[in-house]
Structure 1
Amino acid sequence: MTIQSIRRRLLASLITTIIFLWLITALFVYQVASHEVEEIYDATLAQESRILATLMIHEIEEDEEVKETLQKLVAEAGEDVATRSSKFMEILHEFQSHESESEKDYLTLVPRDLVEGHRYESKIAFLIKGVNGKTYLRSNLPASFNDFKIGYNNFVVEDKAWRMFGLKESSGQFNVLVGELLSVREEIESEIVFNSLWPIIIALPLLGFIIWMMVGNGLKPLSTIADKVENRDPNSLDPISTEDVPSEVVPMVESLNHLFLKVHSALENERRFTADAAHELRTPLAALKTLAQAKSLSTEQAHKGFLDQVIRGVDRATHLLEQLLTLARMDSQSFDESHTHQVDLQQEAINVIAAIAGLALEKDIEISYDGPNDMVVVPGFSPAIQILLRNIIDNAIRYTPNNGEVTVKLVEQDSGARLEVHDTGPGIPESQQQGLYQRFRRGEDTKIQGSGLGLAIVKRIIDLHHATIEMENRENHGGLTVSVNFPGALTH
């Protein structure tokens, strides 16, 4: 059997939730960061293109000014004078040399080994090219690349992906193309992901340890309760105090206390049953022993009388045992909706009357039923209701003198059903009625044989069915009326 650990389940749930939320957050941050990196780098490409275009325009304008100045000097001084002037010839030679160099494919940048730069330099390139095909300036962009498109575009050159921005100069003299390897952006995005990952990876064991300790500290009340239960006296069924118990644990403690109460009640019932049985059986057994001893000393003529007394003693002991066992069963019962079903009181009353009619005939007592012929249904436990009816009707027959009457009456009510048992016996003084529901309590002046358990059994069954019982002496007709009110009756 797998042992379920609350601490491990909480730890696994919390760690899983934290990792999941962190991954969602990291993914969101990565997407946002990637978008921002794209935006910033694209903006940088555009800005660099405009700066290069501005510088190129300035350079062209300077060349034009120098050329115009020289042409003006030549025009003013004349060709012979200008030729004879060594200084003028030096300036003219310089300009012509510059013009000649400009005819080359492109100018050479300062090599990286001469000036320390950044490692990303080789991943950034630009190209300035005239509309006539002349290349003004070119960096480390692969020589095989000569394509040009205005705006942002992606190109693959020599198996490398480039992000390009093309700008056409407003006067139409040249175009500027600035680009960078996409690996630059991918590297930065990877750095963002890595820098987001490694802290949580490093902190995860520490976080797990902290959560483990915190969960253990939160579960200490359970350990405290377990220690209280383990260290308590085995015979103690006192409830566990809910003081200083967390609200989440209170329902469990209350359920445990309820269980203790049930066990205590069951043990008390067992002890009471044992004590009652021992007490009540002592008298009839002692009487049987006395009769047996007397029989051994008696004459043959007295044997028959002794045997009759033994039979009556055995009958009393048998009746007592039946009542004790019934009471024990009732004490151990606790009904709920799963145990109950619809019980027809009308049919149950008729069945009990038929079963017990023999006792009434022995005393020439007229026993009758007065009530509806239709079903009168109440929620309950049929065997228990049969025992209740039998005990009430049996008492009525026992205490009714010969040639008397016993009537079982069933009355429908708005809130349920009322079962009445009328007899023509001596009745019971009101001062004694409540005490008769206690075990082994009988009327003070009664001479009828019995165990004193019948009404105790009846009271237990009534409590289990949430019913009520009443006793009332009949002033006009004499005798006693016992009424039982059942809730929730339905007539069919």
Structure 2
Amino acid sequence: MKRPYRSIQQELLGWLLVPICTLWLVTTFSAYSFAARFANDAYDEIMLNSADSIVARILETDHGLMVDLPPAARDILEHNDMDTFFYRVVTLEGKTLSADADLPMPPEAANLPLWKPKFTDARVKGLKTRLCVLKVPVKGSPADEVVVIVAETLKARNHFATEITLSIIVPQLFFILLSAIAVSVGVSRALVPLKILRDSLRNRSQHDLTPIIEEDTPNEVKPLVVAINELMIKLAEDLEAQRRFVGNAAHQLRTPLAGLKTYVALLKRKKQPETTELLDQLDVGMDRLNKLVGGLLALAKAEPSANRSTDMIMTDLNSITGDITNALRAKAESKELSIEFMKNSESATIHGDPNRLQDLVSNLIDNAILYTQKGGAVKVTVDALEHQVKLVIEDNGPGIPPEDRDRVFERFYRVLGTGVEGSGLGLAIVKEIAIMHDATISIESVKPQGTRFIVNFKRSTAPVVNVQTV
């Protein structure tokens, strides 16, 4: 099973810091070992000097050998305040001449060469100590040889070794931290093109399939950008082919549907009782099919790939909305609905395609009429603000549940339980046209019941171009 990848930054930091930290640990161990050996050598030399000083204080008297080591001299031998100092002078027969009788005499001491010190570790009174054992002659006769044993605890040695080790590893630790920071910053800077690419793709409309610019991308990222661009080209070609198919199919269906509609009208004029009901049902079905075909054709025209910049001109939304409201007034009154159009300014200029804007307004008002019960009301408002123009269509119908508000803009999606027949394309067309005009669309609830659709356009101050909408 493959390990899941973390971020590239964490991956690079891991590959860099793991060997560096491992090397640092090895260096720490090696540095402490070196420092411990160095400290032992230095303090062993001091212990040997102490042993030589004690040898110099061995005197021969009438009563035999003795060690003349006054307290002041012993204080000098105890060269640091951290450790406990021990010493012992003993003959080869095991007779202690002076000092600490508890200090052990190594078994091999009698066989040591003269003046050749031996250093070893031992425990004295339960303490870890370092011993220096030195066999020396007193009168030049083997019978008068003595063994001088000097010992001290290890605190000063360990402290000295620790200080040396810290002086080596602490700068290395700072170097590792600085390296980690430098690598992290460097990797972050190196990943900036990827972050820019991510933000560029994230901020794109789902309909924007234009290729990504490759000029400013690093060589390592270019293969990814090229692959994404190739995928976008394929998607754009597939979507364009799909749009052409839907548009052509819808356009081709209109002519036979119109012919069938004419034939049904002619048959209904004959007023034959046995066929009247069937013809009425056929007429309703063809009306529904004709509306669906019209919706598909409008949706194909609203697709971004079908739009041309030359279609976008300065347009007065007041004029379009007022005309559509008047055109649908008869349909509203047939359901005993009141329909009202209001505007707060004589001009509400936006940059847009008049034909597509006509489809947007028509679908929103038609949707409000369709879902508002008999005796209800539909309010249409165009609110021209300083930097935007707001189109508001409000009804007092049953409303749209919050969980369905995002999905109503999907193609062929219809809210269940309304009992209203529809194609499910009207709001999908509205959404496509809003995207085409860089407009935002939102849905709000109306108290005590109802729905409010709000479309926000960017306002333009350029003069309106008078064109005939279709």
TM-score normalised by L of structure 2: 0.44
Larger radius of gyration: 1
From the two aligned structures, give the one with the greater helix fraction. Answer: 1
